[in-house]
Amino acid sequence: MRNSQPETPVTSMGERPTRAEAGALTGVFESLRPDLLRFAHWLARDAALAEDIVQESLLRAWRSREALKDPGAARSWLLTIVRREHARVYERKRLELVPLDEIVDTHAGPRSRDPDGDVFALRHAIMKLPLEYREPLVLQVLGGFSTEEIARELELSSTAVLTRLFRARNKLRVMCGLAAAPDVAEGPA
pLDDT in tens, 15-42: 555 666 667 778 888 999 999 999 999 9
Domain membership flag for residue 78: yes
- What is the number of structural domains in the chain? 2
In the prediction, which pLDDT does 70 show? 82
Q: In this structure, are 125 and 171 located in the same domain?
A: yes
CB-based burial label for 158 (10 Å; 0-12, 13-18, 19+): middle
> In the prediction, which pLDDT does 180 show?
73
Is this prediction's pTM over 0.85?
Answer: no
User: Residue 156 is part of a domain; what is its CATH number?
Assistant: 1.10.10.10
Residue 138 per-residue DSSP state: H
Task: Tell whether 153 is covered by a domain.
Answer: yes
The reply to whether 78 and 141 lie within a common domain is no
Position 7 scores a pLDDT of 46
The residue segments making up the domain with residue 74 are 19-92
Distance (Å, whole) CA 181 – CA 172: 11
Residue 148 in domain: yes
**28 and 83 share a domain?**
yes
Quote the pLDDT of residue 2. 44
Does residue 75 share a domain with residue 23? yes
The CATH number covering residue 43 comes to 1.10.1740
- List, for the chain, all residue ranges whose pLDDT scores fall below the cut of 70: 1-22, 93-98, 100-117, 184-189
Residue 79 in contact with residue 39, Cβ under 8 Å?
Answer: yes
